[in-house]
Structure 1
Amino acid sequence: MGRMERSALEEHERKIIIEFCHLLEKSKQLFNGLRELPQYGHKQWHSYFGRTFDVYTKLWKFQQQHRAILDTKYGLKRWQIGEIASKIGQLYYHFYLRTSETAYLHEAYAFYHAIRGRCYYTQASKEDKCELMVKKLRYYARFIVVCLLLKKIKIVRDLIKELDKQIIEYGNTYDPDDQVEWTVVVDEVKAFLQAESVIAVIHSDGVPAIVFNRLSPNASPPIERSPQTSLILHEALIIGSSSQQVKFSELTMDMFRMLQTLEREIPIEMQHAYEDSPRQRYLSTPNNPTNKGYLENGHRCENPHKYLLFKPSPSQLLVYLASGCNELPHTGALLLYISADGQSLQPSRNPEDVGYDAGGLITTSKTDIYKECNKEKSKYRELQCLYPGDLVPFTRRPLFMIIDSDNSFIFQNMPRHFSQPLVILMSPMELPSPFQDRRPQGSLFTLFLHAPLTAFCYISDVHTLSVSLWDRAAMYIDAFMNEAAQLFPRSRVDMTYMSFIGDDFLRALVLRFVFCEVTLRLHRAFRARTHLTRSSPPLPDDLLDHPSLIQIVMDLASHLQVRSHFQEANAAGPPPQKDQ
């Protein structure tokens, strides 16, 4: 090769290295910039995310096309490729959180799985860099979260073992204090995994079956469409603050379950291969802002946009709520789900304000409340508590609320100053003594809304089922939902409910709420009024005590051989109506 040819080749190689370094630096700047943007609102974030994704797409393809030169002339290491892949996985995961589209969750998994399969981080422990090992540990934690959401339990268990080894190595080499913190993370994952598996469904060969609870096309019975059923769930706020539940990565068990309850699983044909262009997959998925389609063959093809807030202050919660209301289209509805400990006040005979004088919810850390305590505590409300009165301004838009708390009933008298639909589903305020020690596994009420058959087994002391028994039991649940859907418009149900049940997700939640209340009324242990649910507007007894619904519940109990846990149908009747 002549001197001129060598010179031209060297210049070509130099340009490739310069372009790679430019793309790498620009990608890091844009990725870090995403953290600076407000976590609420769509438009600004969508635009910035698109730019970031474009650069990472170019960077990823560029290193693939010029790997040989980058390896020999630049010294590109495999952990550096892994870091790029990890950032793309993080982008997909955060876009999943923003859009609720499980397609992006599958894409995040594909990149994280490839990092592990291609051993990109294998040499990381041999590099004398503490921050590189921390990146590796964080990669494991993120991968575990994605696998939990996708119910890839076997991989989660394998990742836990690998992470355990990496943490020990990290502590021995670098920082024993940090090792303790990472050990806590592993313990949280193990506790979360144990709490999430409420019931074991077993194949005939003894292998555990994976039960999915995301909404399927047949999960919510169809109803007759009318102008009154035109609302679509567009925005959802999922608030988790319960102090007694297991958590992992700012996800309490209730948040984890409600997150999946408000999602529809994507068809298998939409799950693309890892080698495809990341940007192409982004453009092809339904919730991309450039894609205008919302309904397909008369059925919803998108999931509602969700905000996940772990222990937010009331002011933070209200900002997100205001943003969600602002983003609603004309036919949109907003769901507010709160799982939190209650802050009770002594009831006043002559309350000055029903929105503030009955107590509130502790949405943030209890230590924040203790900091606010002062000598004039009795004169003023707690600054760090959320009260029913705080939410009244947001009833200007269609609002569907789920309150899971030991102080939930304070929301039953929320005023309806505006003409917009407002429905509030409230959990029992307490559980019978046999169930009070199981709170770390998550709330029974949320479990009913997420997986009604699992909840039924839970209160019936059924811990293991064969797949055949489970599948047959699921048919009883489907029969109940279909019958309740047929009875709904024929019962004396407040028309406010009709505004919401046109949406698949909200209809499923309402019907599961009915199943929860009917089941608890029949159960021998749930006899106090505080053991049962409430709703506003109240659902009528001619629906909740309907003989056909009661019969299906009793047939399900007979199928599972747990009928002794339930009263005979003619002895059940409506619960005592105290403390109204």
Structure 2
Amino acid sequence: MGRMNPLEDHERKVIIEFCHLLEKSKQLFNGLRELPQYGHKQWHSYFGRTFDVYTKLWKFQQQHRAILDSKYGLKRWQIGEIASKIGQLYYHFYLRTSETAYLNEAFSFYYAIRGRCYYTKACKEDKCELMVKKLRYYARFIVVCLLLKKIKLVRELIKELDRQIIEYGNTYDPDDQIEWTVVVDEVKAFIHAEPVVTVIHPDNYPVILSHRLSSITTPPVERSPQMTLSLQEVLIIGSSSQQVKFSELTMDMFRMLQTLEREPSGEIQHMYDDSPRQRFISTPSAPTSKGYNIENGPRRDNPHKYLLFKPSPSQVLVYLASGCNDLPPNGALLLYISADGQIVQPSKHPEDVGYDIGGLITTSKHDIYRECNKDSKTPPSSKYKELQCLHPGDLYPFTRRPLFIIIDSDNSYVFQHIPRHFGQPLVILMSPLELPSPFHDRRQQGSLFTLFLHSPLTAFSYCCDIHNLSLVHWDRAQIYIDTFMAEASQLVTRSRIDIMYIAFMGDDFLRLLLLRFIFCEVTLRMHRAFRARTHLTRAAPPLPDDLLEHPALVHIVMDLAAHLQVRAHFHDPSTAGPPSTKE
């Protein structure tokens, strides 16, 4: 055979290089599954190398598209698959770093895949697995859109996914069609449940509100030398059996995730553009192995977060240990748990309050019952503790570092006794054990307690049976919330409050959570429906009654109620002050 002419030789080299980059990118991408999900330094360099290869691959296919189309037979769905994996990389990098800029980059790629119809002909290929990739792309795109509150687009994607699932079933008669139908039903239920209160624009359409932290929503504080801590690590755990969920994200997890993020700064606002065509065409701006600071990671505007859906207690302890280990000096860790309680028969004199008074079911209840039935020699009533429950005593070792704990459960109070063995700052905020009967049928919309921490005005409206508000009324009501936060911040720093609270007040996120917790407790104490002690929150160390019943805070709540025309829901402080304790 004679030597190939120069053009053919060049084409051959292009195809060989493309196949090499494609295979290397797949190997690195698959290797991400082998990385530990906790810790920082192990994965920084690996992510950088993976982004390097995908950047080269993306540029290469752009530069040599004509040859790859005509000589290699590159199909549009293959380009879409590369773009989809770049979107996945950005999404996972967002989860790892908590930087919303990467979430917007993921959106840009997913949006452009849809706009350019890269997967349009996927169903015409005689490959079932290709259709599954298309369905997975839709599911991932929906998750990203939910996190960015692009609800109109989510509704469009649901309709498209619905059609794709029907076509998938008609073409291949697969075993997993029902599972995909469940995915669609979950996301439909999720977007139906999420807007507890609908805010209406003057032009009569619902306003999509962001509840991420911004310079406008950050409450002020009088700085003091004791405010030394900065929130660096967050563990968000969700396992409530009654809430809607989507893609291993319960409603409470979804809300807390956004509460602990800042709005993107000005330099990346363009990523919100609904037509990110130019960004997609250009080389993806990714953290690379050379340009990324492997040792220190990204600048920490947001704390690093771990999301755990129905983890075993052992998994919780591993992630907690990793988070504590990664804390820098003066760093603090936030543990948030939304879970059903494991409630045991009360004992007048428990031997060990860390283990004898119950705990939380972080995994599914089904796992607990299965574990109990596995060994009939060890019935639940024996002297042994439940293996699949997280007990307050499990958290004792982690109080070696500054720890801020939020427990949202019907057994939350059992965590109030955690001791300070190591003298480090420790604050525990606990939800009510139960809600008044009118609220029992709305549990799938998420917890009222977490809703107060996420959006105080939404929770306040919900308590007063307000389901719709005009944008003008919402904005005016929000002024009362902001006023309350500023006033409460002053009172906390000036009152006789435990010094542990002051240590956490210097961090924007922890200060916001604490002040919203105070707003929640002040509101519930005054609300006529919340009559029992179990309807109220608790905190350890206890917050002083003279703070929670301060006239300035009470009057702001009453003014807010008057503005929303719901004063009848509250005890009138002019006739009798709200009771300090309710039995």
- What's the TM-score bracket when you normalise by the shorter of the two chains? over 0.9
Q: Which residue of 2 aligns with 1:32?
A: 30
Which residue, out of 105, 111, 126, partners 1:107? Answer: 105
Instruction: Give runs of aligned pairs for residues 401-420 of structure 1, distance below 5 A.
Output: 401-420=405-424
Could you tell me how far 1:226 is from its partner in structure 2?
2.7
**Helix, strand or coil at the partner of 2:439:** helix
Q: Which residue of 1 aligns with 2:349?
A: 350
Distance (whole Å) between structure 1 residues aligned to residue 542 and residue 282 of structure 2: 51
Could you tell me how far 1:462 is from its partner in structure 2?
0.6
Percent same amino acid among aligned pairs?
A: 76
Could you tell me how far 1:334 is from its partner in structure 2?
0.2
The amino acid across from 1:211 in the alignment is: L
Distance (whole Å) between structure 2 residues aligned to residue 186 and residue 19 of structure 1: 40
Q: Is 1:282–2:287 an aligned residue pair?
A: yes
Distance (whole Å) between structure 2 residues aligned to residue 400 and residue 573 of structure 1: 29
Q: Which residue of 1 aligns with 2:551?
A: 547
Could you tell me how far 1:245 is from its partner in structure 2?
0.4
Cα distance change, pair 276–130 in 1 and its aligned pair in 2 (3 A): closer
Distance (whole Å) between structure 1 residues aligned to residue 429 and residue 168 of structure 2: 47
Which residue, out of 413, 422, 425, partners 1:421? Answer: 425
Encode CA deviations 1:193-212: one digit per residue, 9 max, x unaligned: 01101111111111111111
Encode CA deviations 1:516-544: one digit per residue, 9 max, x unaligned: 00000111000100000000001111110
Could you tell me how far 1:287 is from its partner in structure 2?
9.1
Q: Which residue of 2 aligns with 1:455?
A: 459
Could you tell me how far 1:282 is from its partner in structure 2?
3.1
Instruction: Give runs of aligned pairs for residues 218-237 of structure 1, distance below 5 A.
Output: 218-237=216-235
Could you tell me how far 1:219 is from its partner in structure 2?
1.3
Which residue, out of 489, 497, 500, partners 2:501? Answer: 497
Could you tell me how far 1:351 is from its partner in structure 2?
1.2
Q: Which residue of 2 aligns with 1:44?
A: 42
Could you tell me how far 1:372 is from its partner in structure 2?
1.9
Q: Which residue of 2 aligns with 1:298?
A: none
Which residue, out of 473, 484, 499, partners 2:488? Answer: 484
Which residue, out of 179, 183, 200, partners 1:202? Answer: 200
**Helix, strand or coil at the partner of 1:248:** coil
Contact conserved, 1:492 with 1:542, CA < 8 A, in 2?
no
Q: Which residue of 2 aligns with 1:263?
A: 261
Contact conserved, 2:222 with 2:490, CA < 8 A, in 1?
no
Q: Which residue of 2 aligns with 1:519?
A: 523
Q: Which residue of 1 aligns with 2:340?
A: 341
Could you tell me how far 1:233 is from its partner in structure 2?
0.3
Encode CA deviations 1:9-37: one digit per residue, 9 max, x unaligned: 11111001000000000000000000011
Cα distance change, pair 230–463 in 1 and its aligned pair in 2 (3 A): same
Instruction: Give runs of aligned pairs for residues 82-231 of structure 1, distance below 5 A.
Output: 82-231=80-229
Which residue, out of 397, 404, 415, partners 2:401? Answer: 397
Could you tell me how far 1:70 is from its partner in structure 2?
0.5
Distance (whole Å) between structure 1 residues aligned to residue 191 and residue 292 of structure 2: 30
Encode CA deviations 1:245-269: one digit per residue, 9 max, x unaligned: 0000000000000000000011243
Could you tell me how far 1:449 is from its partner in structure 2?
0.1
Distance (whole Å) between structure 1 residues aligned to residue 391 and residue 549 of structure 2: 32
The amino acid across from 2:80 in the alignment is: G
Contact conserved, 1:523 with 1:566, CA < 8 A, in 2?
yes
Q: Which residue of 2 aligns with 1:366?
A: 365
Q: Is 1:446–2:450 an aligned residue pair?
A: yes
Could you say what the CA RMSD is over the residues aligned between the two structures, in angstroms? 1.7
Distance (whole Å) between structure 2 residues aligned to residue 572 and residue 385 of structure 1: 41
Distance (whole Å) between structure 1 residues aligned to residue 365 and residue 292 of structure 2: 37
Q: Which residue of 2 aligns with 1:297?
A: none
Could you tell me how far 1:403 is from its partner in structure 2?
0.1
Could you tell me how far 1:573 is from its partner in structure 2?
2.5
Encode CA deviations 1:31-89: one digit per residue, 9 max, x unaligned: 00000111001111111111111101110111011111100010000000000000000
Cα distance change, pair 96–25 in 1 and its aligned pair in 2 (3 A): same
Contact conserved, 1:257 with 1:450, CA < 8 A, in 2?
yes
Distance (whole Å) between structure 2 residues aligned to residue 559 and residue 168 of structure 1: 49
Distance (whole Å) between structure 1 residues aligned to residue 155 and residue 215 of structure 2: 30
Q: After the TM superposition, which of the residue ranges 160-169 and 203-212 deviates more from structure 2?
A: 203-212
Structure 1 unaligned residues grouped into runs of 5+: 295-300
- The aligned length equals 568
Q: Which residue of 2 aligns with 1:310?
A: 309
Distance (whole Å) between structure 1 residues aligned to residue 63 and residue 92 of structure 2: 27
Distance (whole Å) between structure 1 residues aligned to residue 110 and residue 297 of structure 2: 30
Structure 2 unaligned residues grouped into runs of 5+: 272-277
TM-score (norm 1): 0.95
Contact conserved, 2:531 with 2:582, CA < 8 A, in 1?
no
Q: Which residue of 2 aligns with 1:464?
A: 468
Distance (whole Å) between structure 2 residues aligned to residue 168 and residue 399 of structure 1: 49
Distance (whole Å) between structure 2 residues aligned to residue 575 and residue 176 of structure 1: 61
List structure 1 runs of 4+ shifted beyond 4 angstroms: 276-279, 286-294
**Helix, strand or coil at the partner of 2:243:** coil
The amino acid across from 2:363 in the alignment is: T
Distance (whole Å) between structure 2 residues aligned to residue 155 and residue 170 of structure 1: 22
**Helix, strand or coil at the partner of 1:211:** coil
Could you tell me how far 1:220 is from its partner in structure 2?
2.0
The amino acid across from 1:57 in the alignment is: T
The amino acid across from 2:306 in the alignment is: Y
Could you tell me how far 1:224 is from its partner in structure 2?
2.6
Distance (whole Å) between structure 2 residues aligned to residue 169 and residue 218 of structure 1: 47
Q: Which residue of 2 aligns with 1:437?
A: 441
Contact conserved, 1:220 with 1:481, CA < 8 A, in 2?
no
**Helix, strand or coil at the partner of 1:227:** coil
Q: After the TM superposition, which of the residue ranges 221-230 and 532-541 deviates more from structure 2?
A: 221-230
Cα distance change, pair 59–459 in 1 and its aligned pair in 2 (3 A): same
Distance (whole Å) between structure 1 residues aligned to residue 86 and residue 530 of structure 2: 49
**Helix, strand or coil at the partner of 1:352:** coil
Could you tell me how far 1:277 is from its partner in structure 2?
5.4
Encode CA deviations 1:310-331: one digit per residue, 9 max, x unaligned: 0000001100000000000011
**Helix, strand or coil at the partner of 2:384:** coil
Contact conserved, 1:99 with 1:287, CA < 8 A, in 2?
no
Distance (whole Å) between structure 1 residues aligned to residue 221 and residue 580 of structure 2: 29
Cα distance change, pair 457–283 in 1 and its aligned pair in 2 (3 A): farther
Q: Which residue of 1 aligns with 2:275?
A: none
Distance (whole Å) between structure 1 residues aligned to residue 13 and residue 399 of structure 2: 59
**Helix, strand or coil at the partner of 2:121:** helix
Could you tell me how far 1:230 is from its partner in structure 2?
1.4
Could you tell me how far 1:293 is from its partner in structure 2?
7.6
Distance (whole Å) between structure 1 residues aligned to residue 167 and residue 292 of structure 2: 42
Contact conserved, 1:333 with 1:400, CA < 8 A, in 2?
yes
The amino acid across from 1:481 in the alignment is: M
Q: Which residue of 2 aligns with 1:75?
A: 73
Cα distance change, pair 288–274 in 1 and its aligned pair in 2 (3 A): farther
**Helix, strand or coil at the partner of 2:176:** helix
Q: Which residue of 2 aligns with 1:576?
A: 581
The amino acid across from 1:496 in the alignment is: M
Could you tell me how far 1:290 is from its partner in structure 2?
6.3
Encode CA deviations 1:105-136: one digit per residue, 9 max, x unaligned: 00000000000000000010110100000000
